[in-house]
Amino acid sequence: MHGESSMWYPMRYKALADIRYAALIPTVMFTAFALLMVALRWCCRICCRSAKVGPEDYLVTAAVVKFGVDGAAIQRDDADPSSRSTMLKLALAQAISYHLARNLVKASLILQYMRLFSVISPVVWACYGLFVLTLGAAAWGVFGNIFFCDPVRSYWDVTLPGTCMVEEKRFWSSSVIGIVLDFAIWLLPAPVVGRLRLPKRQKMGLMVVFGLGGFVCAITLLRLILVYYTAHQGEVTKAGTYAIIFSSIEINLAISCASVLVMKPLFARFLPALISEQPLTAAEDARTCRALTGLHLLTIAVAEEEEEEKNTPDEERRDTLVESNTFSQRIAVPKAAKRAKKGWRASKRNTM
């Protein structure tokens, strides 16, 4: 094999075996956490009926399944540590899995933005652009690894003559593209969210979600720096361990962040004090969200929701607060009557 520095290509099977065991615990922990978050996401979609299941739900599920299954294959014990060919095949599978999962999560977040900010044209067009760039990044990450060597088989069969790309250049290009897209997706909704007037609790919750997104960006940047530095120090095992551990943290935290964005109805049902200080119906929640994201004119959909709310008995309301008897007696019926008369724009409560 030719065409790249030995410090960037883990030729020693012992290094690959050591990486497998050193990266096992953090990989399993963060993958289990991401799997739990995706399960709660589906519980929210199906049980709480917060919104229709969209393509972003399937994409983030595919990401956690793909990364989890391939990660389990890499950590399995039945692989013969003395087989360099087997270890290199697993390393290639992990690289492809990483790029697929990373870009599936990005696509899921972009589709969520398009659904939430569908009435704000600049954000929608920016989402289209980011989606195209994400597809390009996924193609480069996947096919750049598959066709890293010519012939492809020479990647894991070191006895076969062939040529390979320079791994350092490929690593830098895919990492920088991923970091730029991460920061772009993280900062895209910031101007809109910054204009929202929310209760203190909800604003703090939103800050936590955005803080988690910023942490994912920081992990991606830290992964690039640590892997590059240790590889140039000749510490192949440590570089590979950093790559796998921080890849796992990055992907699984991104999956968790994408899932938390749709879990408000679940929190409203089981932790109502964290969400709102007043009872709120599902129709009110949807109307207010549209208002906060820029839709200030009544639409046919909003009119239908108002009609549905009027016909819904009080006992079927989805309350986001455990009310005291005196509080419910004082506001339940009069507030509903006032909202029916004045329309949703007269409401002073803002939620997210």
- DSSP output for 105-144: HHHHHHHHHHHHTTT-HHHHHHHHHHHHHHHHHHHHHHHH
Looking at residue 9, the DSSP 8-state letter turns out to be: S
For residue 239, count CB atoms less than 10 angstroms from its CB and return exposed for 0-12, middle for 13-18, buried for 19 or more: buried
Buried b / exposed e across 277-303, counting CB within 10 Å, b at 16+? ebbbbbbbbbbbbbebbebeeeeeebe
- Which segments of the chain have a pLDDT < 50? 1-15, 17, 72-82, 277-282, 292-302, 314-352
Using CB atoms within 10 Å of the CB of residue 211, give its burial: 0 to 12 exposed, 13 to 18 middle, 19+ buried.
exposed
**CB 178 within 8 Å of CB 217:** no
CA 26, CA 47: separation in Å to the nearest integer? 31
Q: Which domains does the chain have, with CATH numbers?
A: 6-269 (1.20.1070), 278-346 (no CATH)
State residue 258's pLDDT score. Answer: 79
Instruction: Report pLDDT digits (tens) over 25-58.
Output: 777 777 777 778 777 777 777 766 555 666 666 6
Q: What pLDDT, in 10s, does the model give residues 1-21?
A: 444 444 444 444 444 545 555
Answer yes or no: are the C-beta atoms of 128 and 117 closer than 8 Å: no
Mean pLDDT over all residues of the chain?
69
Q: Does the pTM of the predicted model rise above 0.85?
A: no
The whole-number pLDDT of residue 183 equals 92
Query: Please, what sign has the CA dihedral across residues 138, 143, 146, 150?
Result: negative
Q: What is the pLDDT of residues 133-145, one digit of tens each?
A: 999 999 999 999 8
